[in-house]
Structure 1
Amino acid sequence: MSMVKVKLYTLHLSPPCRAVELTAKALGIELDQQVVNLLAGEHLTPEYLKMNPQHTIPVLDDNGTIISESHAIMIYLVSKYGKDDSLYPKELVKQAKVNAALHFESGVLFARMRFTFEPILFRGGSEIPTEKKEYILKAYQLLEDTLVDDYVAGNSLTIADFSCVSSFASIMGVIPVDKSKYPKIYDWLERLKKLPYYEEANGSGADELSKFVLSSLEKNSVKA
Structure 2
Amino acid sequence: MTITIYHFPPSAPSRAALLTARVLSLNVNVKEINLFKKEQLKQEFVKINPQHIVPTLDDNGFVMWESRAIAGYLVGKYAKDDSLYPQNPQLRAVVDQRLYFDCSTLFPRIRAICFPVLYLGETKVTEDKKTALHEALAFIEKFLHGKKWLTGDSCTIADISAFASISSALAIGWNIGNYPNIQAWVERCKTLPGADENDVGAKQFGAAVLKNMEPGQI
TM over 0.5: yes
Superposed, 1:1-224 pairs within 5 Å as 4-148=1-145, 149-179=147-177, 181-200=178-197, 202-218=198-214
2:141 partner amino acid: E
1:207 partner amino acid: K
Alpha-carbon displacement from aligned partner over 1:8-53 (angstroms, at most 9, x marks no partner): 1111111011111111111111221111121222212233223222
TM-score w.r.t. length of structure 2: 0.93
In the alignment, the residues of structure 2 paired with residue 91 and residue 209 of structure 1 have an alpha-carbon distance, to the nearest angstrom, of 36
In the alignment, the residues of structure 2 paired with residue 102 and residue 154 of structure 1 have an alpha-carbon distance, to the nearest angstrom, of 14
Structure 2 residues without counterparts, runs of 5 or longer: none
Answer with 203-212 or 96-105: which moved more.
Answer: 203-212
Query: Post-superposition shift, 1:145?
Result: 1.1
2:210 partner amino acid: L
Answer with 120-129 or 189-198: which moved more.
Answer: 189-198
In the alignment, the residues of structure 1 paired with residue 50 and residue 176 of structure 2 have an alpha-carbon distance, to the nearest angstrom, of 40
2:172 partner amino acid: V
Structure 1 residues without counterparts, runs of 5 or longer: none
- Maintained 8 Å contact 1:5/1:29: no
- Maintained 8 Å contact 1:7/1:32: yes
Answer with 95-104 or 40-49: which moved more.
Answer: 40-49
In the alignment, the residues of structure 1 paired with residue 75 and residue 181 of structure 2 have an alpha-carbon distance, to the nearest angstrom, of 27
- Maintained 8 Å contact 2:85/2:156: yes
Alpha-carbon displacement from aligned partner over 1:106-136 (angstroms, at most 9, x marks no partner): 1111111111111100011111111111111
In the alignment, the residues of structure 1 paired with residue 49 and residue 190 of structure 2 have an alpha-carbon distance, to the nearest angstrom, of 32
Answer with 35-44 or 74-83: which moved more.
Answer: 35-44
In the alignment, the residues of structure 2 paired with residue 172 and residue 105 of structure 1 have an alpha-carbon distance, to the nearest angstrom, of 16
In the alignment, the residues of structure 2 paired with residue 196 and residue 75 of structure 1 have an alpha-carbon distance, to the nearest angstrom, of 17
CA RMSD of aligned residues (A): 1.7
Structure 2 SS opposite 1:116: helix
Identity of aligned residues (%): 38
CA, structure 1 residues 46+72, in 2 after alignment: closer, same or farther (shift >3 Å)?
Answer: same
Query: Post-superposition shift, 1:191?
Result: 0.9
TM-score w.r.t. length of structure 1: 0.91
In the alignment, the residues of structure 1 paired with residue 171 and residue 34 of structure 2 have an alpha-carbon distance, to the nearest angstrom, of 23
- Maintained 8 Å contact 2:23/2:193: no
